[in-house]
Chains A and B, each alone.
Chain A
Amino acid sequence: MTSAPPGRASALQATGAGRYADPLFKWAAITAGVSVLAVLGLMIGSTTADAWPVFQYQGFVDFFVNDEWRAGFSRTDFTGEYGAFSFIFGTLVVALIAIVLALPLALAVSLYITRLAPRRMKGPLAYTVELLAAVPSVVYGLWGLLYFVPTFLRPVMELLSAALAPVPLLGTFFAGPVYSTNYLAAGTVLAIMILPIITAISREVIAQVPPEQVQAAYGLGATDWEVMRKIILRRSFPGVVGATMLGLGRALGETIAVAMLIGGSQRWGLSLFFGGDAMAAHIANTFQDAAPETVQALIAIGVGLFIITVIVNVLARLLVWRIGRVAGDAAL
């Protein structure tokens, strides 16, 4: 096969070897395709096998609703208590903060780039925002921990706490004391991290709004903003929701930057300034120090996280797929 005779045309001619090579090649391709499924299956299988005894020991429901997490030290038995609610709560709060902060900004950026930016600026602007996606998460963590949070965010959080804590009801979420690393710190940096994902997909979705409709609206005397709000945003709404869900999926699973900025405790609090922990972050923060039973409990958290992110991702893909598959977002 490798010693092809000279000449392109002859190289393409069906040779004797080719007859056997064809099905062989096909099966190699099928094997490769199926191996992707196999990896995923193995992934689910081996982790679930480890997590199962924990669910049995703690109770499946109790594992998710109990907020008491006490790591045991046994090598052979289960002795600790494994209620992961604090981490699930942390994951959801941090992801929610990130979405709330990132979504409006992402929409503004995508609308600006697609509708308002000068033509020759569109590419560079889009590229610059996408560069944010290329920054590794440990760099976000470093930057947040040693620069952004203490220098910028901390004074803002102190102000917010002072101003809003006395307000009834709302005050609960802004009550002091302000931990050095907390939900809001992790959520804010996470918002920066998911901004390029939401932007990239929103941009694609917005670009797919039929130009005829846009032109028709302008023809009827609509202003730029009216076109964006009433035509573009309305048409691309499902896609934007899908983009947000993909950003949410990333936010739920983000590990190292959150681990460095969230506080690393085993409890939860309603205040945004409380230092808690998230599911992925708790795994990274405590995995190395864990005895076998706790390792299994952490794997159980991983399984829970996997289930949540898969559901979110599948919903997101379905929404984005309705508008046509978006190319290139795999790289994000």
Chain B
Amino acid sequence: MSSLPVTTLAPPRPASEVSSSLRAADPHSRRRRRRSRVMRTVLLAGMIAAMIPLALILIEVGRRGANAFGWSFLTQTEPPFRREGGGYLQGLVGTFYMVTFATAMSVPLGIMAAVYLVEYGRGWLARVIRFFTDVMTGVPSVFVGLFVYALLIRDIGFGTFVGALALSVIMLPIVVRSSEEMLKLVPEDQRAASAALGARRWQTIVKVVLPTARPGLVTGAMLAVARAAGETAPLLLTALGALSVVTAVQGTPQSALTLLIYDGATQPFAPGQQRAWAGALLLLGIVFVFTAVARFVSSRSTVRPD
């Protein structure tokens, strides 16, 4: 019994290799091992099958997207669908504008909410908030769009602000949950040390806990940004779309990369569809860069999950 730890530390060896000589003669065992081999192959096949869609998406978006992609794609607005050339400038501006706005609204609020959950929340209120934050992550994004429409659009019209508001509602629970996980990973010792130096609670949080968790918080925020940049449905109901660059904060319909891709994909003219592929390439690039940087930041952090 005392020798067991040795086996638990070692990677699980296939039992068949260890004791094959003992059971090679047993036909029942041979059938079982053959079956195991078959299933290993099946699982490998499943693994490969799961890779195929990603490969197909990357190849197709890369191949078709590259056709219409170029400097002018980033610096020009979209011409009519049936005409060649032009780009998604208004969508790039709109996405950047709304996501920045949404980040400014949701990230500070989300981090403060996470501070409450980790630093102050002990009782039923914290449990309720935690539970409903989880519920909120599962709310369909189109429902968020409906909500903003029902609440505001009939009074103040379409525009950047209402689009950003919808995105911020989608980002909020993501920020709260990821920030909460990160704050929980800050060692209790650090809080105790800070308190021992005479710091008040808020000073401990602002000067010790939050800086320690910063890389993790940044990671969470960036993942939320990546998610928001890829949203279409809520913007369809709030930003509506635009043909030219829109700088107005509210009252004028705003464009977004995702809206342009959606429109381009669902109309019949080939040049418009080509631009939709190029837009998809651009959007995938943005989202992947954000995801990758988020992972990089969290991997350099001393406080991180895993």
CB atoms of B207 and A29 under 8 A apart: no
Number of A-B contacts (CB under 8 A): 332
CB atoms of B142 and A25 under 8 A apart: no
CB atoms of A192 and B276 under 8 A apart: no
State which of A222, A309, A328 has its C-beta within 8 Å of the C-beta of B181. A328
Q: Cβ of A139: which chain B residues have Cβ within 8 Å of it?
A: 57, 61, 230, 261, 280, 283-284
Task: Of the listed stretches A12-20, A66-74, A155-163, A166-174, name the one at the interface; the rest are far from the partner chain.
Answer: A12-20
- A61 close to B (CB within 8 Å): no
CB atoms of B230 and A137 under 8 A apart: yes
A67 to B236, CA, bound (A): 26
A30-B116, A112-B46 known; A11-B200 Cβ under 8 A: no
Residues of A24-54 contacting chain B, CB below 8 A: 24-26, 28-37, 39-40, 42-43, 46-47, 49-50
Q: Cβ of B23: which chain A residues have Cβ within 8 Å of it?
A: 221
CB distance from B295 to the nearest CB of A (A): 8
A119 to B11, CA, bound (A): 9
CB atoms of A142 and B51 under 8 A apart: no
CB distance from A107 to the nearest CB of B (A): 8
- A97 close to B (CB within 8 Å): no
Residues of B226-247 contacting chain A, CB below 8 A: 226-227, 229-233, 236-237, 240
- B25 close to A (CB within 8 Å): no
Bin the interface of chain B by size: 35 or more
Q: Cβ of B57: which chain A residues have Cβ within 8 Å of it?
A: 135, 139-140, 143
- A298 close to B (CB within 8 Å): yes
State which of A47, A108, A312, A330 has its C-beta within 8 Å of the C-beta of B147. A47
Mark B31-48 against chain A: 1 for CB-CB distance below 8 A, else 0.
011011001101111110
- A77 close to B (CB within 8 Å): no
A47-B150, A135-B287, A137-B230 known; A33-B135 Cβ under 8 A: no
**Which of A32, A50, A252 has most chain B Cβ within 10 Å?**
A32
CB distance from B56 to the nearest CB of A (A): 7
Q: Cβ of B115: which chain A residues have Cβ within 8 Å of it?
A: 29, 32
Count residues of A near B (Cβ-Cβ below 8 Å).
Answer: 111
CB atoms of B33 and A142 under 8 A apart: no
CB atoms of B142 and A12 under 8 A apart: no
State which of B113, B120, B237, B262 has its C-beta within 8 Å of the C-beta of A138. B262
- A306 close to B (CB within 8 Å): yes
Task: Of the listed stretches B68-76, B77-85, B122-130, name the one at the interface; the rest are far from the partner chain.
Answer: B122-130
- B112 close to A (CB within 8 Å): yes
CB distance from A254 to the nearest CB of B (A): 7
CB atoms of B232 and A331 under 8 A apart: no
- Do most interface residues of chain A lie in helix, strand or loop, or is the interface mixed? helix
Residues of B264-305 contacting chain A, CB below 8 A: 264-266, 273, 276-277, 280, 283-284, 287-288, 291, 305
A18-B200, A214-B12 known; A305-B143 Cβ under 8 A: yes
State which of B150, B227, B288 has its C-beta within 8 Å of the C-beta of A331. B227
CB distance from B78 to the nearest CB of A (A): 15
- B215 close to A (CB within 8 Å): no
CB atoms of A328 and B46 under 8 A apart: no
CB atoms of B40 and A11 under 8 A apart: no
- A57 close to B (CB within 8 Å): no
- A134 close to B (CB within 8 Å): yes
- B186 close to A (CB within 8 Å): no
CB distance from B289 to the nearest CB of A (A): 10
CB atoms of A223 and B169 under 8 A apart: no
CB atoms of A148 and B112 under 8 A apart: no
Mark B142-174 against chain A: 1 for CB-CB distance below 8 A, else 0.
111011011100000000000000000100111
State which of A12, A140, A295, A302 has its C-beta within 8 Å of the C-beta of B143. A302
Residues of A244-267 contacting chain B, CB below 8 A: 246, 249-250, 252-256, 259-260
What residue of chain B has the Cβ atom nearest to residue A221's Cβ? B15
State which of B47, B150, B283 has its C-beta within 8 Å of the C-beta of A136. B283
Q: Cβ of A221: which chain B residues have Cβ within 8 Å of it?
A: 15, 19, 23, 29
A314 to B202, CA, bound (A): 34
A50-B150, A134-B291 known; A14-B200 Cβ under 8 A: yes
Q: Cβ of B258: which chain A residues have Cβ within 8 Å of it?
A: 136, 138, 256
CB atoms of B60 and A143 under 8 A apart: yes
Q: Cβ of A24: which chain B residues have Cβ within 8 Å of it?
A: 202
CB atoms of B197 and A9 under 8 A apart: yes
A39-B172, A317-B134 known; A136-B140 Cβ under 8 A: no
A221 to B18, CA, bound (A): 10
Q: Cβ of B56: which chain A residues have Cβ within 8 Å of it?
A: 143, 147-148
What residue of chain B has the Cβ atom nearest to residue A330's Cβ? B177
- B223 close to A (CB within 8 Å): yes
Task: Of the listed stretches A78-86, A235-243, A280-288, name the one at the interface; the rest are far from the partner chain.
Answer: A280-288
What residue of chain B has the Cβ atom nearest to residue A196's Cβ? B50
CB distance from B148 to the nearest CB of A (A): 9
Q: A-contacting residues of B (Cβ < 8 Å)? A: 4, 7-8, 11-16, 19, 23, 29, 32-33, 35-36, 39-40, 42-47, 49-51, 53-54, 56-57, 60-61, 64, 109-110, 112-113, 115-117, 119-121, 125-126, 128-129, 131-144, 146-147, 149-151, 169, 172-174, 176-178, 181, 194, 197-208, 220, 223-224, 226-227, 229-233, 236-237, 240, 258, 261-262, 264-266, 273, 276-277, 280, 283-284, 287-288, 291, 305
**Could you list 9 A-B pairs, sorted by A, with CB under 8 Å?**
A12-B198, A29-B112, A29-B116, A39-B136, A40-B136, A138-B280, A215-B12, A221-B23, A284-B237
In the complex, besides A116-B44, A221-B15, 6 extra interface pairs with C-beta distance below 8 angstroms are A29-B115, A105-B49, A138-B230, A215-B7, A283-B233, A284-B142
* Pairs A-B, 10 closest by C-beta atoms: A108-B46, A253-B140, A136-B230, A32-B112, A313-B138, A25-B202, A223-B36, A33-B116, A330-B177, A12-B199
